[in-house]
Chains A and B, each alone.
Chain A
Amino acid sequence: NAGVTQTPKFRILKIGQSMTLQCTQDMNHNYMYWYRQDPGMGLKLIYYSVGAGITDKGEVPNGYNVSRSTTEDFPLRLELAAPSQTSVYFCASRLGLAGGSQQYFGPGTRLTVT
């Protein structure tokens, strides 16, 4: 089991460029999440998915889009990158919603927009 994998690990974008952050999990989890983590701040939820074909906005969705065509993959798309999107992005997945169930995080993608 590789768990949750993310690519790329690092990326520098120019303002106005677009990119897709990839996330894959091999645990057959239904629930998947995208977070961003800014220095001195906790993780903020961008988008989530409860299963293939079902996605919804989290707390900070502006400037991002997602899709979930398979159980395994949950890519995050940035359109027209802005400096405010400079952050570390984490993808996560979980099997169920019981309070004690574990949420597994990927290693993150560090994105800089200049």
Chain B
Amino acid sequence: TQLLEQSPQFLSIQEGENLTVYCNSSSVFSSLQWYRQEPGEGPVLLVTVVTGGEVKKLKRLTFQFGDARKDSSLHITAAQPGDTGLYLCADFRMLNAGGTSYGKLTFGQGTILTVHP
């Protein structure tokens, strides 16, 4: 069973600070996804990375995928209160059950980020 560990579990910072959160897997990722979940809402996809060493940028967010495809980091520059939320990493892979293919997401436990004005 694949286990995803995210750190830190909680992060509380002031507006304007930079931060990095981490995601480590017990096995090689098939397709790594990062989600943000705001209170009272479901997770929303931020990015998908599939190639080892890949770096993707989304405005002030930078996502890095480890060369061995077992770890990833999310760096936020100049954090804003609107960045507050739960950040989840997940592995998406196709599985087969009884001849039927389906896609499965395995999630880490998340990092709860609070950005204070």
Residue ranges of A at the interface with B (Cβ–Cβ < 8 Å): 4, 31, 33, 40-45, 48, 50, 54, 56, 58, 90, 92, 94, 97, 99-100, 102-108
Instruction: Indicate if the CB atoms of A99 and B105 lie closer than 8 Å.
Output: no
- A42-B4, A42-B107, A42-B109 known; A56+B48 contact, CB < 8 A: no
- A42-B108, A106-B42 known; A56+B101 contact, CB < 8 A: no
Q: Which residues of A contact B94 (CB under 8 A)?
A: 97
Q: How far is the CB of A52 from chain B (nearest CB, A)?
A: 13
Q: Which residues of B contact A42 (CB under 8 A)?
A: 4, 88, 90, 106-110
Q: Which residues of A contact B9 (CB under 8 A)?
A: 40
What secondary structure prevails in chain B residues at the interface with A?
strand
Q: How far is the CB of B54 from chain A (nearest CB, A)?
A: 12
State A4–B44 Cα separation when bound (angstroms). 12
State A60–B109 Cα separation when bound (angstroms). 16
Q: Does B43 contact A (CB under 8 A)?
A: yes
State A42–B105 Cα separation when bound (angstroms). 10
Q: Which of A56, A105, A106, A107 contacts B102 (CB 8 A)?
A: A56
Q: Which residues of A contact B100 (CB under 8 A)?
A: 50, 54, 56
State A79–B48 Cα separation when bound (angstroms). 37
Instruction: Indicate if the CB atoms of B40 and A105 lie closer than 8 Å.
Output: no
State A7–B19 Cα separation when bound (angstroms). 36
Q: Which residue of A lies closest to B93 (CB)?
A: A99
Instruction: Indicate if the CB atoms of A48 and B102 lie closer than 8 Å.
Output: yes
Q: Which residues of B contact A90 (CB under 8 A)?
A: 42-43
State A54–B99 Cα separation when bound (angstroms). 12
A/B interface sample: 15 pairs, CB < 8 A:
A4-B42, A40-B109, A42-B90, A42-B107, A42-B108, A42-B110, A43-B43, A50-B102, A90-B42, A97-B101, A100-B48, A100-B50, A103-B92, A103-B105, A105-B43
State A102–B107 Cα separation when bound (angstroms). 15
